[in-house]
């Protein structure tokens, strides 16, 4: 039998251990608390320059170039810039609009092929994601945990986009879902914790944690 002092010490030790665990959980989720909100950045192309010529964005954000005047293009291919994490670009012309979603973290450089002195630079950082669950009675998925095929149930008028992020905020999978194609193959995704987001008209309408086995 414990005396009062021993019992008090055990109680205090247990309470301290639980407090540490609670603080660890709070710190962990505070790191990934900020909700990911895809942002579109506009770059104007005119007067032999990209404006702005330098951007810092988050993974999953979109950059949209508007050719205001002149015959230009965007060339960010790895053939021209081998250090780019991924290729992007369009054909030369006038009056065009071109957009690209940057899903891979890293530093990018691009140019106008017709005017090589026209250069732009984009830095893509990993995005923090929300750990909270945003429910929607019209949307669900199963099974969870899942090892291969994720089935989507939804009752919305429009097609939806499904995006899966790891806990660092990096987009690992993206797919358009409609009534004729409502499954997602996640077998290639490493085991771990993910956030699944459903977007309708580029707005998040559902978000839930997913455990990949």
CATH code for the domain of 180: 2.60.40.1930
Q: Which residues of the chain have pLDDT under 50?
A: 23, 26-36, 130-134
* 66 strand-pairing partners: 44, 97
Q: According to the model, what pLDDT value does residue 98 have?
A: 98
DSSP structural state of residue 72: B
Q: Is the dihedral of CA 129, 125, 166, 156 positive or negative?
A: positive
Asked if the structure places residue 190 within a domain, the reply is: yes
Last residue of a domain, one of 125, 154, 183: 125
Distance CA 207, CA 162 (A): 10
What residues contact 189, with CB distance under 8 A and at least 6 apart? 164, 172, 173, 212
Last residue of a domain, one of 125, 159, 175: 125
Are both 79 and 144 inside the same structural domain? no
Asked if the structure places residue 163 within a domain, the reply is: yes
Q: Are 118 and 111 in contact (CB under 8 A)?
A: yes
Q: According to the model, what pLDDT value does residue 50 have?
A: 97
Distance CA 5, CA 211 (A): 44
Q: According to the model, what pLDDT value does residue 19 have?
A: 53
Measured CA to CA in angstroms, residue 17 lies from 12, 13, 21, 27, 130 at distances of: 9, 6, 6, 15, 27
The boundaries of the domain holding residue 87 are: 40-125
Last residue of a domain, one of 125, 148, 164: 125
Are both 146 and 121 inside the same structural domain? no
Distance CA 89, CA 82 (A): 14
Q: According to the model, what pLDDT value does residue 205 have?
A: 78
Q: What is the pLDDT of residues 118-129, one digit of tens each?
A: 999 999 887 655
Asked if the structure places residue 144 within a domain, the reply is: yes
Distance CA 169, CA 64 (A): 21
Q: Are 34 and 126 in contact (CB under 8 A)?
A: no
Are both 120 and 149 inside the same structural domain? no
Give the phi and the psi of residue 22 in degrees, each rounded to 5. -60, -45
Q: What is the pLDDT of residues 85-116, one digit of tens each?
A: 999 999 999 999 999 999 888 899 999 999 99
């Amino acid at each position: 039998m414990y005396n009062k002092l021993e019992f008090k010490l055990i109680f205090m030790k247990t309470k301290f251990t639980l407090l540490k665990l609670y603080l660890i959980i709070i710190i962990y989720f505070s790191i990934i608390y900020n909700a990911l909100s895809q942002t579109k950045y506009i770059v104007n192309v005119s007067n032999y320059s990209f404006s702005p010529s330098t951007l810092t964005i988050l993974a999953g954000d979109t950059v949209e170039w508007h050719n205001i005047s002149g015959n230009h293009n965007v060339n960010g291919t790895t053939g021209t810039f081998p250090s780019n994490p991924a290729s992007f670009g369009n054909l030369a012309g006038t009056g065009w609009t071109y957009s690209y979603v940057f899903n891979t973290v890293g530093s990018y450089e691009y140019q106008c092929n017709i005017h090589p002195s026209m250069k732009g630079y984009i830095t893509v950082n990993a995005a923090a994601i929300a750990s909270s669950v945003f429910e929607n009675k019209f949307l669900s998925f199963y099974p969870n945990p899942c090892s291969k095929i994720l089935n989507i149930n939804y009752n919305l008028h429009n097609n939806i986009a499904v995006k899966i992020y790891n806990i660092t905020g990096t987009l690992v999978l993206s797919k358009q879902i409609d009534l004729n194609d409502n499954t997602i193959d996640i077998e290639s995704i490493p085991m771990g914790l993910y956030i699944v987001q459903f977007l309708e008209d580029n707005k998040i309408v559902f978000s839930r944690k997913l455990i990949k086995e």
